[in-house]
């Protein structure tokens, strides 16, 4: 009987079987061999974004470099150039410590050493660097002195502020610049800063530049505020150069305009969130009007010896206040950023020393110094003159 040897599989059959096995293995879940799809890892759920952060805002009054102030800055620079930071050093911790700080640049800048004080001002452009070093983020530039050196003065001023990194509104080099606010960021808020003046001391607008200085007009202000809100502003801050010089009490025009502007709303939300006043050269009251804080006048931050309309020296012209406001984010979508804390900080420009005095610190360091006490009490009386203490305004440090 013949024994048969098992036949070997044909090579093509081996290749076909391998292909089938490979296909089967490709369908199976790795490591299981079951052919079922592998379980997918869970899709991570996006974390809720953190709520927007509140912020503090500090504002101060007129920067008005008279001849004596310019000379002081020259001495502080050692005779070579001008340095305005030392005269502001005492308030720098308060200014730089805020999330957002706003100043008022009342004068324009000159060129080639042609710097002068009253009555037609051209200041050294180094003022801008001094403001930046102190911690200011934005300056209002609309004032009755905005056209003291025409369009060239505006251009030099805004160029210097740009170079120093300080935003600005109130005067402009081009129509497009005039049409937009100074955009700022503070905490979690997008802030629009707008500025206007009652006039320009009779100087006409430069030819072909009707937008060079923002003039105070209620309809325009409200329209600009609403446009800023539509462009994404969470908070709209308004700087107004207004009022009657040397009058501690706000005048009727200030009172009426404050009531009207703070009453303007869109879909139940106020169009303006804070009003900062300058020009009177003396401290004026803070007041909560229609739920919005208004500073009628912060007084002068920097100025030389000040003389009233009779020609008599008036020390109130070197007194001022810093306003400090704490804003909290809305509690509901589309709500208002609310001021949860309002403070004023008295200050005084010591014309003998050429220095701004932060009066709370000055009194703590110097004791019961008479001129410091007089300045503090004068500022406090003016600031609280319309009952702001009842709405929570306190003296800060």
Sign of CA dihedral 359, 362, 366, 371: negative
The residue behind tokens 């974004």 is 49
Q: Does residue 12 register a pLDDT over 70?
A: no
Q: How far apart are CA 397 and CA 362, in angstroms?
A: 11
Q: How far apart are CA 259 and CA 236, in angstroms?
A: 16
Distance spanning both ends of the chain, measured CA to CA = 119
**Residue 49, helix vs strand vs coil:** coil
pLDDT value at residue 334: 85
pLDDT band at 284 (very low <50, low <70, confident <90, very high): very high
Token pair in block for residue 314: 């008036």
Taking only the tens place, the pLDDT of each residue in 199-237 is: 999 999 999 999 999 999 999 999 999 999 999 999 999
Q: Could you tell me if 108 and 145 are in contact, meaning their C-beta atoms sit under 8 angstroms apart?
A: yes
| Average of per-residue pLDDT values in the chain | 91
Q: How far apart are CA 83 and CA 74, in angstroms?
A: 6
Q: Which residues are CB-neighbours of 83 under 8 A, at least 6 positions away?
A: 73, 76, 77, 126, 130
Taking only the tens place, the pLDDT of each residue in 162-175 is: 999 999 999 999 99
pLDDT band at 79 (very low <50, low <70, confident <90, very high): confident
Q: Could you tell me if 312 and 331 are in contact, meaning their C-beta atoms sit under 8 angstroms apart?
A: no
Phi first, then psi: give them for residue 358, nearest 5 degrees: -80, 100
Q: How far apart are CA 60 and CA 344, in angstroms?
A: 10
Q: Which residues are CB-neighbours of 265 under 8 A, at least 6 positions away?
A: 271
**Which structural domain, as residue segments, surrounds residue 99?**
55-395
Q: Is 24 domain-assigned? A: no
* Cβ burial 55-74 (10 Å sphere, 16+ → b, else e): bbbbbbbbbbbbeebbbbbb
Q: Could you tell me if 241 and 210 are in contact, meaning their C-beta atoms sit under 8 angstroms apart?
A: no
Angle 179-183-189 from CA coordinates, rounded to 5°: 135
Specify the range with the lowest mean pLDDT, choosing from 28-32, 145-149, 223-227, 383-387.
Answer: 28-32
Q: From 315, 275, 266, 267, select the one nearest 294 (Cα to Cα).
A: 275
CATH label of the domain that carries residue 85: 3.60.21.10
Q: Could you tell me if 131 and 105 are in contact, meaning their C-beta atoms sit under 8 angstroms apart?
A: yes
Cα separations (Å) of 114 from 87, 110, 206, 305? 21, 6, 21, 21
pLDDT value at residue 38: 62
Q: How far apart are CA 357 and CA 235, in angstroms?
A: 30
pLDDT band at 366 (very low <50, low <70, confident <90, very high): confident
* Cβ burial 29-47 (10 Å sphere, 16+ → b, else e): eeeeeeeeeeeeeeeeeee
Phi first, then psi: give them for residue 254, nearest 5 degrees: -60, -50
pLDDT value at residue 74: 97
Q: Could you tell me if 320 and 379 are in contact, meaning their C-beta atoms sit under 8 angstroms apart?
A: yes
Neighbours of 10 (CB within 10 A): 9
pLDDT value at residue 43: 65
Domain count, the chain: 1
Q: Could you tell me if 256 and 212 are in contact, meaning their C-beta atoms sit under 8 angstroms apart?
A: no
Alpha carbons within 13 angstroms on the beta-carbon side of residue 182 total 30
pLDDT value at residue 257: 98
Answer yes or no: pTM beyond 0.85.
Answer: yes
Q: Is 117 domain-assigned? A: yes
pLDDT value at residue 25: 41
Q: Is 324 domain-assigned? A: yes
**Residue 62, helix vs strand vs coil:** strand
Q: Is 37 domain-assigned? A: no
Taking only the tens place, the pLDDT of each residue in 183-203 is: 999 999 999 999 999 999 999
pLDDT value at residue 304: 98
Q: Is 315 domain-assigned? A: yes
Q: Is 14 domain-assigned? A: no
pLDDT value at residue 367: 81
Token pair in block for residue 333: 């979508």
Q: Is 135 domain-assigned? A: yes
Q: Is 247 domain-assigned? A: yes
């Amino acid at each position: 009987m013949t024994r048969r040897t098992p036949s070997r599989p044909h090579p093509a059959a081996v290749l076909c079987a391998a292909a089938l096995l490979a296909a089967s293995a490709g369908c199976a879940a790795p490591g299981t061999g079951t052919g079922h799809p592998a379980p997918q890892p869970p899709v991570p759920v996006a974390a809720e974004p953190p709520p927007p952060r509140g912020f503090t805002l500090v504002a101060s009054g007129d920067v008005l470099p008279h001849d004596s102030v310019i000379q002081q800055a020259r001495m502080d620079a050692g005779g070579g150039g001008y340095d305005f930071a030392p005269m502001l050093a005492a308030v720098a911790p308060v200014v730089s410590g805020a999330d957002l700080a706003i100043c008022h640049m009342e004068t324009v800048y000159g060129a080639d050493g042609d710097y002068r004080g009253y009555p037609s001002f051209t200041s050294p452009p180094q003022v801008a660097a001094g403001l930046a070093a102190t911690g200011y983020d934005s300056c209002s530039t609309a004032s009755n002195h905005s056209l003291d050196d025409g369009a060239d003065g505006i251009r030099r001023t805004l160029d210097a502020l740009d170079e120093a990194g300080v935003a600005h509104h109130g005067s402009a080099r081009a129509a497009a610049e005039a049409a937009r606010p100074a955009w700022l960021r503070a905490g979690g808020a997008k802030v629009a800063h707008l500025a206007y003046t009652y006039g320009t001391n009779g100087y006409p607008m430069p030819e072909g530049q009707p937008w060079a200085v923002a003039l105070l007009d209620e309809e325009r202000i409200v329209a600009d505020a609403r446009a800023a809100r539509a462009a994404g502003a969470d908070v709209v801050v308004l700087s107004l150069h207004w009022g009657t010089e040397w009058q501690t009490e706000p005048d009727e025009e200030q009172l009426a305009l404050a009531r009207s502007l703070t009453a303007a709303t869109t879909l139940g939300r106020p169009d303006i969130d804070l009003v900062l006043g300058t020009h009177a050269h003396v401290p004026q009251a803070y007041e909560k009007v229609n739920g919005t804080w208004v500073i009628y006048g912060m007084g002068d931050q920097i100025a030389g010896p000040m003389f009233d309309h009779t020609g008599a020296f008036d020390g109130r012209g070197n007194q001022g206040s810093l306003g400090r406001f704490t804003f909290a984010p809305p509690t509901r979508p589309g709500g208002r950023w609310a001021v949860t804390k309002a403070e004023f900080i008295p200050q005084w420009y010591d014309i003998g020393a050429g220095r701004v005095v932060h009066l709370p610190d000055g009194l703590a360091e110097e004791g019961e110094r008479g001129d410091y006490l007089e300045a503090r009490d004068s500022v406090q009386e003016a600031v609280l003159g319309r009952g702001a203490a009842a709405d929570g305004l306190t003296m800060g440090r």
